[in-house]
A and B are shown apart, each in its own frame.
Chain A
Amino acid sequence: MGPSRLTRRAVLRSAAVATTALAAPFIHARAAAVVPRGKMVLAWHTNIAPRWLDPQQHDGGATTDNFLDVVHDALIKNFRDQLYDHLALAEHYEFTEDAKSATFRLRPGLKFHNGAPVTPADVKWSYEHYRGAWASVLHERTDGAEIVDDRTLRFEFKRPFLDFPRLIGTANVSGAGWVVPAKYYEEVGPDGFARKPIGVGPYRLVAHEPGNKLEFEAFEDYYRPVHVKQFTIISVPEAATRVAMLERGEADIMYFVPGELIDRVKNNPKVMLAPVVSGSWWLEFPGFQDPKNPFHDKRVREAVSLAIDREAINDAESGGMGRVSGNWINDDVQYAIDWPKFPRDIAKAKALMKEAGYPNGFNVDWVTPAPNYYSRGERVVSQLQNIGIRSKLQVMERAVFQKRLEGGLKEWPGVQIIMNGARIGASWANWYESNFKCGGYLAADRICLRDLDAKFEKYMSSDQPAERKTLAEQIQREILEDYYFVPVFRHAFVNAIGPRIAAQRWQDVFQTAVTTGYAYPWEDIELKEAEAAEK
């Protein structure tokens, strides 16, 4: 690692470090002052896979983070409105200007649930043995991890690695920055660890019924105050049952209220809806590069955009609690650009269709929405009829849909529209790479715009933040200006909060809603009865 230069960023970082260090004793004092009380229950909406309790097996998706944030903790992480760099286990961290090394200093006195101290050796082991999502990239680009002293660890990179903090600090992207006890992990192995995980997070696991129930107890040595003593996560796949549990007080938080039950929850004064604005949805036109394809003409793609009633879709699909935004990439990731809402103008759309040589419209073989969101596909089919685009809805089971996306253009013959959606963390580049880039995991060869891909390659190989930002914005602008993708809306992942939870508004519980649909930080959630008892 070369010597750090004195820059404005370095000064600001030092100030932040100093503030954190000064505040640390008070944080510990506050943690000690709070006595965890009561019990809360989360009604989880699918089954519970034990691997979600093991950060080493992170699958790169937006599910694991709900569980990691209960049992484990990371060096830095997404927290409230901080996207990735909230200081968690690290008391401070330093990412050098040349992006070739990162140094983390652990908080003093950190302990695992089994009482063992958290050491830089555990951090090093966790990183080096990590085998989940992004492991190959992280390991390939890391030269080594050096233990500097009993609380400090430095990662050295082979070349500038600008994405490192975001990759390790975003809980729904990778688990490499989440620390596990090396000795225990080696003793019990991955399967044993997933069944009986030991972490450093706010709750320790006390009982585990695989797939069905997890019972936790507040970890009193956690460095932040934990308010609720017992925490249970129960798998309840049926939405109506989850709502009934909330209404009866058997559950305190429930995830995923489907559209048909939103009014029932809304009309119950005892419970509170928590509509977290989540994934973005867009339309894409596989095979549009073919001059014979009507969508080859930019005017037709623009006409589609003008024909879509985004507000109506948001109202019907998310009870109006989603958001109509201009970009197809969520705004919580690095370099995502703000874009004005696309207007709806049927007259202009018809004029564009006429100009493009389709005054009477044309037939689309299929409109295929991402499963299981078939109703929003139906709305697109019906809205496109207003400008003469006649289409049929094609429904697919999720695995088939994914497989066909991976299969590329040959899987989407004729004239087709796909209504796709995603929530991907950390960087805009992850969205582009999987959904747009030629050869991308899900894009395959459906889009393949060489000039944009060339710019993306330049972005990826650049180690100049300013250049990367310019390229990222340029690429996104071109996609939107040329209507290669037609953004529709960001849907709401609607959750609900029961009457026992102390919350004035739903954001008090879903504090990290910018980056996740889940209710963490768990340690901050308080019960009304506990509040009363404390008074």
Chain B
Amino acid sequence: MRQFMIRRAFYAIVTLFILSLTIFTVVRLTGDPVTLLAEPGARAEDLDRVRSEWGLDRSWPVQYLAFVKNVFTGQLGESFNYEMPVSTLYFQRLPNSLELALAATLISFLIGIPAGIISAVRVNSFWDNFGKIVALLGLSIPGFWLGLVLILVFSVWLHWLPTSGQGGVQHLIMPALALGWYFAASLLRLTRSSMLEVLRSEYIKLAHLKGLPGYVVLAMHAFKNALIPVLTLAGINLVVMINAAVIIEVIFAWPGIGRLLYEGIFQRDFPLVQGVVMEAGIMIVLINLIIDLLYAYIDPRIRLSK
């Protein structure tokens, strides 16, 4: 187990190293951020001054070392546009993103799991077909379109909800619905297939033969086991929702990490993009590492396999 843990930790470090190198290079390939700052009347010497202030006149290796050093110190560098440490910005926005992501996860659970279970239990019935349509719509309707339609209907026409921004529960409903909708569809599909697989297994048949009531078999035996892959997906979805709900956060002017990333990309704010991507990467790598370790703990075959 110890060897397994060391190996997995090593893989995690290598992954983060590759991620850091990739994001560092890719943001620089997109162009010079100072040219985006430049208005047509800007003067070359003023732009050179900005380049120097932002450290962009240094060689790439020097800039990379500074970036790695910043990652290790936890500061993640200073944003060009915000003139603040990226870590401060990230953790300022994190609660907002968490709030939205948790609400969206709740909505995706409330829609996706029951619908998935009903679809699996009533295969090829009206409810199954309805569930398939919901899943199809969820996966194919673009989030930005759904968001704008929600604003138009519930804010502009009905005057029920505020259009955008962060505040009380009222502000949370539409962005959470628009964000959770897509993930509800993916949860629905996974719950349905997972439940179908479990419902066809021998121990479920045995449970029925033992005379257990249908709902007990469903809830206590089938659903519990079908839930494992669903929860794994939900965990990954949550990380994605926290860090990359870009479109929804932009449409609803939600001050979260996705919007921060969008602004960073839009403004070529290298430290900001690098920092947000590294934070997201660290989160995903850590969650995967924990899941791997838990799997290995639960199933000895995993830790013994090379």
Interface residues of chain A, those whose CB is within 8 Å of chain B, are 46-47, 49-51, 59-63, 131-137, 173, 190-191, 194-195, 209-213, 234-238, 240-241, 244-245, 247-248, 250, 397-400, 402-403, 406, 420-425, 430-431, 434-435, 441-442
Contact = CB atoms under 8 A, between A and B. Distances in A.
If over half of A's interface residues share one DSSP class (helix, strand or loop), that class is named, otherwise mixed; here it is mixed
Contacts of B263: 47, 211
A233 B37 CA distance: 21
Contact of A59 (B42, B159, B259): B42
Given A133-B43, A191-B84, A403 B163 contact: no
Nearest to A193: B83
A227 to B, nearest CB: 24
B252 A241 contact: yes
A49 B269 CA distance: 11
Q: B41, B46, B255: which has the most chain A beta carbons within 10 Å?
A: B41
Interface in B8-36: 30-33, 35-36
Of B32, B40, B89, chain A has the most CB atoms within 10 Å of the CB of B40
Interface stretch (B114-122, B148-156, B193-201): B148-156
B255 A399 contact: no
Given A133-B46, A135-B46, A238-B253, A210 B82 contact: yes
Contact of A210 (B30, B47, B89, B266): B89
B188 to A, nearest CB: 28
Contacts of A46: 266
Given A237-B250, A240-B151, A241-B251, A250 B163 contact: yes
Interface residues of B, number: 48
B267 to A, nearest CB: 7
A250 B41 contact: no
Interface in B167-209: none
Contact of A173 (B41, B155, B268): B41
19 contacts: A47-B266, A49-B81, A60-B42, A133-B46, A135-B49, A191-B84, A210-B92, A211-B263, A235-B253, A241-B163, A244-B164, A248-B155, A248-B156, A398-B36, A399-B32, A422-B39, A434-B40, A434-B43, A435-B40
Contacts of B148: 238, 240-241
Given A59-B46, A131-B49, A241-B253, A211 B260 contact: yes
B35, B50, B163, B251 pick with most chain A CB within 10 angstroms: B163
Interface in B219-275: 250-253, 255, 259-260, 262-263, 266-268
B44 interface: yes
Given A59-B38, A211-B263, 17 more contacts: A50-B83, A59-B42, A135-B46, A135-B49, A210-B84, A212-B253, A238-B148, A240-B151, A241-B251, A399-B33, A403-B31, A422-B39, A424-B40, A425-B41, A434-B41, A441-B38, A441-B43
B246 to A, nearest CB: 11
Nearest to B35: A402
B28 to A, nearest CB: 12
B175 to A, nearest CB: 11
Given A60-B42, A61-B39, A422-B41, A248 B89 contact: no
Interface in B67-102: 78, 81-84, 89, 92
B165 to A, nearest CB: 6
Given A59-B37, A238-B253, A248 B163 contact: yes
B122 to A, nearest CB: 39
